[in-house]
Structure 1
Amino acid sequence: MIVLAGGKGGTDPLAQRLGHVHKCLIPLGGRPLIAHVLQTAALHPAVESLAVSVEREAFEGLFDVLSQLPGRGIVKLVEARENLVDSVVAAAQDWDGPLLVTTADHALLSVASIDAMIAALPGADAALALAPRDAVLAAHPAHAHPFHEFSDGAYASCNLYAVARPEALRAAEAFRGGGRFAGNAWGMLRAFGPINLALMSLRAVTLPDAMARVAKRLGLALTPVVLDDGIQALDVDDEETYALAEGLLTPSASLSHIAAGTVRT
């Protein structure tokens, strides 16, 4: 699993308010933010090794976090590159098996979500996790979350991706130059093509149809994994989502979100 922790460094507003140099090290539920996703991954029996992509100035703080992880598997720190695509490729170097990719602020990542992504790979080159709007709003109704609209409904990204082999990372090449995989208009146009992008903008295709069109353009078998646990779409990006995650990181909330396992592919 690759955990993307690079970003704004010392300029992140949330990190500045909490007195930390790097966002991935801010405290959440009594532990550094990144510790939550790293522990979930380290305890998962299918995750053989971990790579953290982050700016070099955060290495020292991360050594302390890694020293407290369960003692199993291999963890390496890789200096983050200028964009996400190069960061993922660098973190995947020398690895020849399936890959999961997520972000350091995915503090509420569940075991069930990891299971769902792994289960999707035998029939696909790449998979991406989404949560339907009703599930997201049920989990945190007050948060203004961005949704991707299709004719069969609206879905939020869960910042969780999987590829069956490193060669399939060429799917991410289409988004080179953007900060987020799905947040760069030019990258979206190159990846999806003008006709497909227009159809999606008009909500004229279903989610499966849209993914099939994009897969054909990229030359890869691409599948969406729909998670009915709306909490999986929550990233700790600002004070509002920080407070939401803090509230959900109680023993009862943690058990319920780990147990949530209804998945549609």
Structure 2
Amino acid sequence: MSASAGQGFSALILAGSRGGVDPVAAYAGVSHKALIELDGQTLLARVAKALREAGATQIAVSVSDDTVRAAATALDLTVLTAASGPSCSVRDGIETLGTPLLVTTADHALLRPEWITRFLADAPAHADVAALLARQDVIEAAAPGTRRTYLRFADGAWSGCNLFHFATPRSVAALDLWAQVEADRKRPWRIVRRLGIGTLVRYMSGRLTLVAALAHLGRLAGLHAAAVATPFGLAAVDVDKPADLDLVRDLIARP
């Protein structure tokens, strides 16, 4: 069990911008998708509320937009200036808040406190860094018809859930690797190629499990990395596309 489970923790919300016009923000008619309102609350407020209800005692938000900065200040969040990419923003967050640190994103519109507490409880105690993932069948049972990007391994097809736990100071070693994965997130075979030819062959032949792949990536970075499977399929639904926003609005409107 993670040391953060069952006690207060620090959290970082990534709310930076990739530059240019965000299609989801434009679709919703706002300047930044963190400011999209669902059921009377902005996405940023919804995420902060879920974190607080899960036990977060200090929450920072990484921003690149003055309007989001003002919204974060109004929510009594610690405001950090977003770096050039998510991995660099996490590095800044760790420098400010230390470890352990839970990291999520402002577009995690459906985030619930029980998903967070379950993740922290299930993260192995020896892991320097852990990532929450959901299997395709679990996601599709919770949100039929949703389209996500999946990593396909011997133990199933998986999608990330935008929840990461940086448990120890050693976890910063994962950030350079994260930067590489960011660049290749739509091309899973390039991510696996970093594991070496033997592991790549296992992946291409369908014999590599996600757990083994992440553990090996951790060893390459000099730390213990763990994948944590969630039973909550909606944890993998964020708001990357206008269709995602339509789905989230529909799910929230359901009785």
- Find the aligned partners of 2:90 and 2:193 in 1 and give their Cα distance: 19
Comparing 34-43 with 52-61, greater Cα deviation is found at 52-61
Query: Deviation digits for residues 113-163 of structure 1, max 9, x if unmatched?
Result: 211332215221111111111111112221221111111211111111112
Q: Which amino acid aligns with 2:24?
A: L
Whether the 8 Å CA contact 2:27–2:242 is kept in 1: the answer is no
- Is it true that 1:24 corresponds to 2:26 in the alignment? no
Q: What is the TM-score with the length of structure 2 in the denominator? A: 0.85
Q: In structure 2, the residue corresponding to 1:106 is in which secondary structure?
A: coil
Q: CA 1:24 to 1:181, structure 2 compared with 1: closer, same or farther past 3 Å?
A: farther
- Is it true that 1:91 corresponds to 2:93 in the alignment? yes
| Residue in structure 2 matching 1:123, options 121, 126, 137 | 126
- Find the aligned partners of 1:141 and 1:102 in 2 and give their Cα distance: 24
| Residue in structure 2 matching 1:158, options 135, 157, 161 | 161
Structure 2: state its 5+ residue gaps: 1-10
Q: CA 1:53 to 1:197, structure 2 compared with 1: closer, same or farther past 3 Å?
A: farther
Which residue pairs with 2:80 in the alignment? 78
- The percent of aligned pairs where both chains have the same amino acid is 32
Greater relative contact order structure (CA < 8 Å, 6+ sep): 2
Count the aligned residue pairs: 243
| Residue in structure 1 matching 2:69, options 59, 76, 81 | 59
Which residue pairs with 2:6 in the alignment? none
- Is it true that 1:243 corresponds to 2:253 in the alignment? no
Q: What is the TM-score with the length of structure 1 in the denominator? A: 0.82
After TM superposition, give the deviation of residue 167 of structure 1 in Å: 3.0
Which residue pairs with 1:142 in the alignment? 145
Whether the 8 Å CA contact 2:53–2:113 is kept in 1: the answer is no
Q: CA 1:171 to 1:242, structure 2 compared with 1: closer, same or farther past 3 Å?
A: same
Q: CA 1:4 to 1:197, structure 2 compared with 1: closer, same or farther past 3 Å?
A: farther
- Find the aligned partners of 1:155 and 1:248 in 2 and give their Cα distance: 21
Question: Alignment RMSD, CA only?
Answer: 2.5
Structure 1: state its 5+ residue gaps: 68-74, 253-265
